[in-house]
């Protein structure tokens, strides 16, 4: 089977050296999921991923998400990741692509909120059009969010909280809720476990 969508992902990684999962398209889970992974690589960032048509569409968000609707966070598209990546937490060895510690910062199902003329718009089409809205059901992030492409190429997007009951200008979840939602560990604890 041709794994076209994972060519970039697989081509950048040496699976004899990295503990990350090998890429492939998989039958979708019952509910589409999102995952946000904190990634302490050469530059610290958060990877925001949405399950779309059997892969995880991905953006690197340098400052991480903000629950303040007035704050727009830069989101830079990265290569599609396999669905299994939503379970990946650990250390990518130094010198490998994305070398550094990965923590599953938030995860859960999401709802596609995209509509045009009273009809549902598939998430893939919304992303292709440069504007996607969705409702997150995570442990840390909830409610409506938008990804908006800016400029004429695909280089830069913005991740923004929509104005709803889950918007909160005072919350700072990336600071106050740093632990993994799958293991309860901190970045430092994940790093230490890999040293052992
Ligand atoms: Mn990353």
* pLDDT tens, residue order, the chain (196 aa): 444 678 999 999 999 999 999 887 776 667 899 999 999 999 999 999 999 999 999 999 999 999 999 999 999 999 999 999 999 999 999 999 999 999 999 999 999 999 999 999 999 999 999 999 999 999 999 999 999 999 888 899 999 999 999 999 999 999 999 999 999 999 999 999 887 5
For residue 83 the two structure tokens come to 């669905």
88 C-alpha vs ligand 1 centroid, how far in Å?
12
What confidence score (pLDDT) does residue 154 get? 84
Cα–Cα distance, 154 to 150 (Å, whole number): 8
What confidence score (pLDDT) does residue 4 get? 65
Cα–Cα distance, 4 to 6 (Å, whole number): 6
149 C-alpha vs ligand 1 centroid, how far in Å?
19
For residue 90 the two structure tokens come to 């650990």
Cα–Cα distance, 6 to 80 (Å, whole number): 7
pTM score over 0.75: yes
- Phi then psi dihedrals of residue 111, to 5 deg: -110, 135
Cβ(30)–Cβ(106) below 8 Å: no
What confidence score (pLDDT) does residue 2 get? 44
What confidence score (pLDDT) does residue 152 get? 81
74 membership: H or E segment, kind and range: strand 73-82
161 C-alpha vs ligand 1 centroid, how far in Å?
21
Q: Which residue has the tokens 């009951």?
A: 165
Cα–Cα distance, 21 to 3 (Å, whole number): 14
158 C-alpha vs ligand 1 centroid, how far in Å?
17
Return the DSSP state at 16.
T
124 membership: H or E segment, kind and range: helix 123-128
Q: Where are the alpha helices (DSSP H) in the chain?
A: 7-11, 123-128, 173-176, 187-195
41 C-alpha vs ligand 1 centroid, how far in Å?
7
Cα–Cα distance, 46 to 36 (Å, whole number): 6
Q: How far is CA 14 from CA 42, 53, 112, in A?
A: 18, 25, 34
98 C-alpha vs ligand 1 centroid, how far in Å?
6
37 C-alpha vs ligand 1 centroid, how far in Å?
8
């Amino acid at each position: 089977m041709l794994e076209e969508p994972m060519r970039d992902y697989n081509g950048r990684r040496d699976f004899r050296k990295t503990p990350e999962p090998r890429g492939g398209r998989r039958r979708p889970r019952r509910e589409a999921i999102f995952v946000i992974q904190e990634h302490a690589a050469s530059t610290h960032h958060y990877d925001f991923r949405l399950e779309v048509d059997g892969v995880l569409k991905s953006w690197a968000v340098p400052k991480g998400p903000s629950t303040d609707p007035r704050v727009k966070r830069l989101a830079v598209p990265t290569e599609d990741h396999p669905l299994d990546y939503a379970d990946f937490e650990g250390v990518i060895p130094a010198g490998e692509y994305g070398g550094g510690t990965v923590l599953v910062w938030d995860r859960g199902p999401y709802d596609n909120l995209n509509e045009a003329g009273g009809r549902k718009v598939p998430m893939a089409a919304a992303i292709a059009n440069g504007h996607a809205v969705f409702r997150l059901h995570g442990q840390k992030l909830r409610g409506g969010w938008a990804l908006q492409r800016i400029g004429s190429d695909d280089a830069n997007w913005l991740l923004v909280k929509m104005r709803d009951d889950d918007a909160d200008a005072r919350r700072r979840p990336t600071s106050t809720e740093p632990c993994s939602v799958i293991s309860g560990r901190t970045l430092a604890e994940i790093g230490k476990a890999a040293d052992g």
